Amino acid sequence: MISKQKSILLVCWLSFFASCSFANENLHSGFDSLLRKHVITIDNGASTQVDYAGFMRDKPLLDDYLSELTKVEQTTFDSWSDNHQLAFLINAYNAHTIALILTEYPDITSIRDLGSFFSSPWKKEIAPLLGEIRTLDDIEHNLIRGDNKYQEPRIHFAVNCASIGCPALREESYTGEKLETQLQGQTERFLADKTRNYVLDDTLYLSKIFSWYGDDFEQGWQGAHSVKAFIGLYSDALGLSEMQANKLISGDMSISFNEYDWRLNDITQ
């Protein structure tokens, strides 16, 4: 039987974690409102477009959100669960990407217009986060993917590079409480998009994401140690027949990677 003192302590701990969770989810509420307002679903839900002109009008609200992210200290971040940390980092990447686009919008047709032969837009120090001024590459490759800390290949369907070839920018912010459902939904959504991933004869045509980040899909997530094995987990989303799925797993189906569409994922495109 639990003593009264232990019961009080348990209640205190539960209250503490509940308040931390609420504070964390509330942190992203402003960004959530902006996404719901300015991200438009297209292609029967397969993808989205972004109303950057609308984001431009609401730029003070986006700036307010980015300012709130800046206030989060490393010690606070470290106290969160992995799901809350990952949701924070994905939101930060997506929000800073939008803010980067707005620095030159509407005079750009691609995020790559913000770089040059000698500099990449993903290497610009634009994001004050967790005590450092970071680049988008730093957020994605070090904080999110670094050391495979989160062991989560589905992040590639959540971070958005402001391009048509990217998986859809989600119409809501990511939260620790809903992250599993959100990542699963984003993965199924992307793989079901026949403009990016499809089978023709005995060849599976995939987004170049699976080429660029192939190693991330070979780390054993859900028992998958190859891109083909990962794709096999989502054969229904791809619309594969049982015969096609068996060919994929057995290695009798080849993989080719589609060209990536770097045009801005703007609603005006």
Q: Which residue has the tokens 């800073």?
A: 96
pLDDT of residue 59: 98
The distance of Cα 125 from the centroid of its chain, to the nearest Å, equals 20
Residues forming beta bridges with residue 199, ordered by sequence position: 204
Comparing C-alpha atoms, which of 136, 54, 132 is closest to residue 97? 136
pTM of the model: 0.91
Please count the CA atoms within 13 angstroms of the CA of 115 that sit on its side-chain side: 14
56 vs 62: CA distance, rounded Å: 9
With the CA atoms of 24, 29, 32 and 34 taken in that order, what torsion angle do they form, in degrees rounded to the nearest 10? -140
Of the chain, the end-to-end C-alpha distance in Å amounts to 65
Sequential pLDDT tens for the chain (269 residues): 555 565 544 444 444 444 444 456 699 999 999 999 999 999 999 999 999 999 999 999 999 999 999 999 999 999 999 999 999 999 999 999 999 999 999 999 999 999 987 889 999 999 999 999 999 999 999 999 999 899 999 999 999 999 999 999 999 999 999 999 999 999 999 999 999 999 998 999 999 999 999 999 999 999 999 999 999 999 999 999 999 999 998 889 999 999 999 999 999 87
37 vs 171: CA distance, rounded Å: 8
Token representation of residue 93 = 């990447």
